[in-house]
Chain A
């Protein structure tokens, strides 16, 4: 005879919702350049600040920036902040192993990129000030994706991860005001 079952009080149901967002002209341009292997930003004429990805305006002055303000920045940079992630599992999560997630200030940019994965270095040696360089995906693997405001997802669709470049560490004072 079957044992008496506990009453069902909760069921798991995975829902999905597909939606379309319109990419901006500057977002499309940033993505196209990434697919060519170049990282671009906009340099505000008013503040001199370089935004990567370009936003079409300067956050600090509110003034517009256009294709005329486009500059190319390096694919080398410096780690300004980081953590080591133990991935939380949820529907859609593909990460299972610990990894380093960092903010990276690219040479020539005024604020750091988020969500950069650092590899080829032991966890305990990752530090603010570490110089890193991009490891690009092969051209055929680079994909168009959403350009979010931090640029992390667009970057990671074309750059696999970041590795130590072997250059000497940056002076901490040089990045003290550029964590973001």
Chain B
């Protein structure tokens, strides 16, 4: 039988547009030292380090995990790098959890980051050529197709943005904190990639997220509540193939079904207490609600409009303020996984969902083709 795995501690940086007060190494240590302190551990207690970030051309430093080894206390220890585009923060945590559940290690530090201010992400995505549109240009046709298929009202997207931006005001680490927003102000913000407005889009952020994972022995010895990893799954599909449905990708549906099965969840809408999900553009909330089997096809927008996904709703989604408020790309997936763990540990502060005991963390990337998920709980099974 596989070893049990739990999150013993977590930490993140204060995320901002530019963190010019720290180097990349300093930024990572800020997150890692918070996570170690939360786990009541020191660098020497870590058996292995698992790192992840989005493609290296974003900062122009190739294989940065090598020069960062010393800063991450990884000298002489296994140091594994994960690459899965925007979903990387999630799949990095999944890889780290496997080092525990397989019995290879007892305590693993996993960390992911982006320092977008030290490079140019749109340049990186375009390969330096003209005509780059950023991720928004790639995803906008899918959002438009969703809107047309579902008949969702235009202000579904505004409602998502308003909710996530309000939630961010309760998160001390969030990057964008826009108080007193209205649906009208979101609608009036510039259209960047029709149908997506600027205020329905994620920012570019500098930041890092870190978690300390441990086996059952380490978890039982910890004096604080832990988050038990109840299931992990990753799936991918080609970004383009005949018959592909990029609005509701099969890989996402399969990934969710697998992680629910592992966690013993038969009715995710009822069983999950909250969801922290990768929504970089507002329309992805209703799209992923459907992809994650939380709403019937073309009806995800109804949960948004009925307030179900609000912080005080029946199924809160993106309690932290989400990717819409904080987007250090490589860390964005791990921040979702971290927030899910904070919720079931009861340490999410002002954005805590009362009594949350089972939560989903979700990340996606590439051309909506890479998926990583975990379910964490306050109980081991």
Q: Interface on A for B, CB 8 Å cutoff? A: 9-10, 15-16, 49, 51, 59-60, 81-88, 90-95, 101-103, 110-111, 114-115, 123, 128, 149-150, 153, 156, 177-180
Interface residues of B in 282-321 (CB under 8 A from A): none
Distance, CA A66 to CA B311, complexed state (A): 56
Within 8 A of A (CB), among B197-256: 238-247
B133 touches A179 (CB 8 A): no
**Residues in B neighbouring A10, C-beta threshold 8 A:** 18, 20, 117
Q: How many A-B residue pairs have CB under 8 A?
A: 101
Indicate if the CB atoms of B20 and A9 lie closer than 8 Å.
yes
- In the bound complex, do residue B191 and residue A179 qualify as a contact, i.e. CB atoms below 8 Å apart? no
Given contacts A92-B128, A92-B130, contact A59 B120 (CB under 8 A): no
16 CB contacts below 8 A, A to B, read A10-B18, A60-B241, A83-B193, A84-B191, A86-B191, A86-B192, A88-B122, A91-B120, A101-B137, A111-B240, A111-B244, A128-B148, A150-B240, A178-B242, A179-B145, A180-B240
Give the residues in chain B near A83, CB-CB below 8 Å: 133, 137, 140-141, 144, 193-194
Instruction: Give the complex CA separation of A153 and B190 in angstroms.
Output: 28
Return A85 CB to nearest CB of chain B, in Å: 5
Partner of A82, one of B129, B132, B141: B141
Taking the closest CB of chain A, its distance from the CB of B105, in whole angstroms, is 36
Known: A90-B120, A95-B131. A81 touches B244 (CB 8 A): no
- Is there contact, CB below 8 Å, between B243 and A177? yes
B240–A92 touching, CB < 8 Å? no
User: Is B134's CB under 8 angstroms from A88's CB?
Assistant: yes
Check B145 against A128 for contact (C-beta < 8 Å).
Answer: yes
* A85 with B130: CB separation less than 8 A: no
B126 at the interface (CB under 8 A from A): yes
Is B173 part of the contact surface with A, judged by Cβ < 8 Å? no
A102 to chain B: which residues have CB within 8 Å? 141
Closest to B139 in A: A83
Q: A49-B242, A150-B240 are in contact. Are A86 and B144 (CB under 8 A)?
A: no
Task: Please tell me which one of the listed residues B18, B126, B190 contacts residue A90 in the complex, with CB atoms under 8 A apart.
Answer: B126
Contact partner, B60, options A15, A59, A123, Cβ 8 Å: A15
| Residues of A contacting B: mostly | loop
Is there an interface contact between A115 and B131, defined as CB atoms closer than 8 Å?
A: yes
CA distance A80 to B142 in the complex (A): 10
Contacts of B242 in A (CB 8 A): 49, 51, 59-60, 110-111, 178, 180
Size range of the interface on B?
35 or more
Min CB–CB distance A44 → chain B (angstroms): 10
Which of B120, B131, B244 sits near A179, CB closer than 8 Å? B244
Complex Cα spacing A85 to B138, Å: 10
User: B193 — which chain A residues lie within 8 A by C-beta?
Assistant: 83-86
B245 near A179 (CB under 8 angstroms)? yes
Considering only residues 145-164 of chain B, those with a C-beta below 8 Å from chain A are 145, 148
Instruction: Flag if B132 contacts A59 (CB, 8 Å).
Output: no
Which chain B residues lie closer than 8 Å to A177 at the CB level?
A: 243, 245
Q: Which 3 A-B pairs have the closest CB atoms?
A: A81-B141, A83-B140, A84-B194
Beta-carbon nearest neighbor of A124 in chain B: B194
- From the candidates A9, A15, A90, name the one contacting B132 in the complex (CB within 8 A): A90
In the assembled complex, the Cα of A84 lies from the Cα of B144 at a distance in Å of 11
- Is A180 a contact partner of B244 (Cβ separation < 8 A)? yes
Q: B245 to chain A: which residues have CB within 8 Å?
A: 177, 179
Query: Which of chain A's residues have a CB closer than 8 A to the CB of B241?
Result: 59-60, 111, 180
**Contacting residues, chain B, for A87 (C-beta < 8 A):** 133
Q: For the complex, give the distance between the alpha carbons of A49 and B240 in Å.
A: 13
Considering the complex, give the chain B residue whose CB is closest to the CB of A123: B194
A12 to chain B, nearest CB (A): 10
What separation, in Å, do the CA atoms of A16 and B57 have in the docked complex?
11
Cβ–Cβ < 8 Å partners of B128 in chain A:
16, 91-92
* B residues less than 8 Å from A81 (CB atoms): 141-142, 144-145
A180 touches B246 (CB 8 A): yes
Neighbour of B137 across the interface among A9, A49, A85, CB < 8 A: A85
10 extra interchain contacts, Cβ-Cβ under 8 A, other than A9-B20, A83-B144, A88-B122? A59-B241, A60-B241, A83-B133, A83-B194, A85-B137, A88-B134, A93-B122, A93-B132, A101-B133, A114-B240
